[in-house]
A and B are shown apart, each in its own frame.
Chain A
Amino acid sequence: MKGGKGFRFRGKLFLLLVVAAYMVFFMVNAAEAYQALLRGGLLLVRLIPVFTTVIFMIALVNYFLRPAQIVRWLGRESGRKGWLLSLLAGVVSHGPVYAWYPMIENLRRHGGRDGLLVVFFYSRCIKVPLLPLMVDYFGMTFTAVLTFYTLVGSLAQGWLMDRLES
């Protein structure tokens, strides 16, 4: 599987540093280091469905969408459609943000604009399945106000990113 043309693993040095940190931790406190390793492992298992979904979505995007279509929807000229699409994608996306990096990088490589990526990243703060819990803890008014400001803030950050990039 590693033999693909131009294939290279990314972040090998980073992984080595993490492994080194674990080795040090094991020498200092083996019981806690084992706990940490277990937590990381369980997280990996828990995220397998999210990773599978992301791989499938990358394939769907690459199969059905031409780069020109991605540019039309998420590029410079995407207009309101682009803002709305990235906002919606951020709100409905599930799992930790780093699981979505490969897909976002793929869209960016095909012409997706940075401002819209920023909107996606920030609007992920709104977790639809967790809204009832937020209402329970902080009340309906707080949840509504925070959701509103988060949506506005996401768009404002995307707009600013576009200004910084231009």
Chain B
Amino acid sequence: MSSREEIVTETESEMEVRQTRPTFVSVLKKSGLMFWSMAPLLIGIMGLVGLLETLVTPEMLSVLFRGNPVADTAIGTVSGAAATGNPVVSYLLGGELLQQGISLYAVTAFILSWVTLGVIQLPMEVEMFGMRFTVFRNLLALGGTMLIAVATGLTMQVLT
């Protein structure tokens, strides 16, 4: 095949691809439709967030801590996972807990699990990624949060 023939062939196949390729607008519409199909899940999650923010206040969470570093790390992880809202709230609450004498391990676990673990979004996670993925991911995040909290606490003791 001569180089001219190759060029012609390539150009023709490129044109073919361009003709069969959907336009960006149609891809955007399809993406919008895909997102829209998840509207019940998203609205349900936001409804639950509203419920939880109203029923579970930061003050309620702060009284759960006992002053025992090991138990508090577990409590921090679980309460952070159950809580919801902007991560800023977890920083504010974490700062207050530190001032109350709660261990750094517990506060670190609380801040981490606030973002990485979420009881509220579990139904949506299962629906979208399946039970197996959700269980593995959340167990890894749970274990990871506790380990990182302990590692951070120990490192801070060495550094300060």
Contact = CB atoms under 8 A, between A and B. Distances in A.
A98 B42 contact: yes
Interface in B10-64: 22, 24, 27-28, 30-51, 53-55
Contact of A36 (B27, B51, B118): B51
Interface string B83-124: 000011001101100100000100010011001101001011
A7 B33 contact: yes
B36 A97 contact: no
Given A44-B46, A141-B159, A4 B33 contact: yes
Contacts of A19: 47
B70 interface: no
Given A36-B54, A130-B87, A124 B116 contact: yes
Contacts of B121: 96-98, 101
B148 interface: yes
Given A18-B48, A39-B49, A125-B112, A11 B91 contact: no
Contacts of B140: 118, 122, 157, 160-161
A9 B62 CA distance: 39
Tell me what chain A mostly uses at the interface: helix, strand, loop, or mixed: helix
A26 to B, nearest CB: 11
A40 B148 CA distance: 32
Nearest to A54: B35
A15 B54 contact: no
Per DSSP, chain B at the interface is: helix
Interface stretch (B1-9, B71-79, B150-158): B150-158
Interface in A27-49: 32-33, 35-41, 43-44, 47
B129 A105 contact: yes
A23 to B, nearest CB: 11
A11 B152 contact: no
Interface of B: 22, 24, 27-28, 30-51, 53-55, 87-88, 91-92, 94-95, 98, 104, 108, 111-112, 115-116, 118, 121, 123-125, 127-129, 133, 136-137, 140-141, 144, 147-148, 151-152, 155-156, 159-160
8 contacts: A11-B38, A21-B51, A108-B129, A114-B136, A118-B136, A121-B141, A127-B87, A130-B87
Interface of A: 1-2, 4, 7-12, 14-15, 17-19, 21-22, 25, 32-33, 35-41, 43-44, 47, 51, 54-56, 58-59, 62-63, 96-99, 101-102, 104-106, 108, 114, 117-118, 121-122, 124-125, 127, 130, 133-134, 137-138, 141-142, 145-146, 149-150, 153-154, 156-157, 160-161, 164-165
Among all A-B residue pairs, the 8 with the closest Cβ atoms: A40-B50, A11-B41, A39-B50, A15-B40, A36-B54, A58-B31, A59-B31, A59-B28
Given A55-B32, A141-B156, A146-B108, 12 more contacts: A8-B37, A9-B37, A11-B40, A15-B40, A15-B41, A15-B47, A62-B27, A96-B121, A98-B121, A122-B140, A130-B88, A153-B147
